[in-house]
Homo-oligomer: A and B are copies of this chain.
Amino acid sequence: MEFMTGVAKKDTLEISEILSADYEGKNIKVQGAIHTIRDMGEVAFIVLRKREGLVQCVYEEGKSRFDIQDLKEADTVEVEGTVKMEDRAPNGFELRLDTVKILSEPAEAMPLQISKWKMNTSLDAKLNNRAIALRNIRERAVFRIQEGITRGFRDFLYGQGFTEIHTPKLGAKSAEGGANLFKLEYFHRPAILQQSPQFYKQMMVGVFDRVFETAPVFRAEKHNTKRHLNEYTSLDFEMGYIDGFEDIMAMETGFLQYTMKLLETSYARELKILGLTLPKVDQIPCVRFKEAKELVSKKYDRKIRNPYDLEPEEELLIGQYFKEECGADFVFVTHYPSKKRPFYAMDDPEDETFTLSFDLLYKGLEITTGGQRIHDYNKLMEKIQKRGMETEGMEHYLSAFKHGMPPHGGLGIGLERLTMQLIGEENVREATLFPRDLSRLEP
């Protein structure tokens, strides 16, 4: 009988393996995709693309035992050759080729020049050929950084005693109701796609005290802007036994500190490729909503038009203000007006027209909304009635409160927006693997 016993060591090497030992002068095997070929007659440079970066291979006429004409871009190959330290090559070494085995071949030439350092291509062209465009070294690095953010979020929260949950995306009714829901038929019943795990994560605070989820959310908003998506990945957490909504902001600050360190140590390669300097997150300033509006109005001589909400331009100016005044990339804006927050937001006992809530702005863009929630069943019902809302479809949510819930709060972070700001892009689609917007449902 045959048995599987686990992962066996391959006889081909990855870049980090080659760099971790002394392979100079040794004969090794490497697999990869042909990224470029620069044929100069008697010598040719064949650059392989591997998951950890590029490997420069050298063909030498008379020495290499294959015909350089048999190779073309986008072939995947297994090569054998001798390692030679070479400062000018990527990762400081090259491979003097002996033999090549072709593993697969493309059927057509590339539609985009992915081997250029910066692709001189429109966003639309990149998105239309996403699976090809991402083979560019810089383009794909963005999504390694994105991995680091998600990973940092989870690892930090595991360490803080949070439990990871998976809540359903198909539902009968949603957390925050209304117009922005995608609707569908579920076995002859009307259903919706959840725009947030809000209700579920709150219910689970009664079970696990602290929970988080990293999952897609769906918003049928008809916004067609550089910062909106109709499907995105939301990093959500919710925690019980808080003393105030500041505990939530402290936890988010901790997440950012942990994640920047993780990126620095485990994603240095990608940071270098993208030429990024990580933001400082040792301390993040906090400012009240009302005060922020006034500060910005005063400093930049701008009229306050809507006292209940921040316009995108105001968010940008708040970002600019705190960058100029204290060198901060992030700023917590707190105490949002009650009428612009959902019913479950806890009002400020000192002034009930405001809430114990916050947004986190990063370079002037909202990347998080969070705050303390109402935990008392009777107060929650009061607020629902005051707003003239129906409780239909919320029975299960309300039941959790009826049977006791600790003081709690939480937040949701837009992963693509956070990635976009970190990499310094202007369009959230640059930080989305396969964006969904008003016009884009493919690829």
Please give the count of copies of this chain that the complex contains.
2
Contact among B146, B166, B187, B443 for A396, CB-based, below 8 A: B443
Q: How far is the CB of A341 from chain B (nearest CB, A)?
A: 20
Contact with B along A417-443 (1 / 0, CB 8 A): 000000000000000011110100111
Interface membership of A75, Cβ < 8 A:
yes
Stretch at the interface among A38-46, A92-100, A205-213: A205-213
Whether the pair A135, B209 counts as a contact (CB closer than 8 A) is: no
* Given A169-B216, A442-B396, A443-B396; A4-B284 close (CB under 8 Å): yes
Q: Which residues of B contact A257 (CB under 8 A)?
A: 6
Task: Kindly state the separation between the CA atoms of A334 and B129 in the bound complex, as whole angstroms.
Answer: 35
Contact with B along A394-427 (1 / 0, CB 8 A): 0111011111111100000001000000000000
Whether the pair B399, A132 counts as a contact (CB closer than 8 A) is: yes
Whether the pair B107, A377 counts as a contact (CB closer than 8 A) is: yes
Band of interface residues on A: 35 or more
Q: What residue in chain B is nearest A439 (Cβ atoms)? A: B187
Whether the pair B104, A404 counts as a contact (CB closer than 8 A) is: yes
Residues on A facing B (Cβ under 8 Å): 1-8, 12, 14, 31, 33, 50-52, 74-76, 103-108, 110-111, 129-132, 134-135, 140, 143-144, 146-147, 150-151, 154, 158, 160-161, 163-173, 182-187, 189, 191, 193, 200, 203-204, 206-210, 215-216, 218, 220, 222, 230-231, 233, 240-241, 246, 249-254, 257, 282-287, 326, 332, 375-378, 393, 395-397, 399-407, 415, 433-436, 438, 441-443
Q: For the A-B complex with A4-B283, A31-B406, A168-B435 known, give 14 more contacts whose Cβ atoms are closer than 8 Å.
A: A2-B285, A4-B253, A4-B284, A7-B160, A52-B161, A74-B404, A107-B402, A143-B165, A143-B208, A166-B216, A166-B433, A193-B193, A204-B433, A393-B442
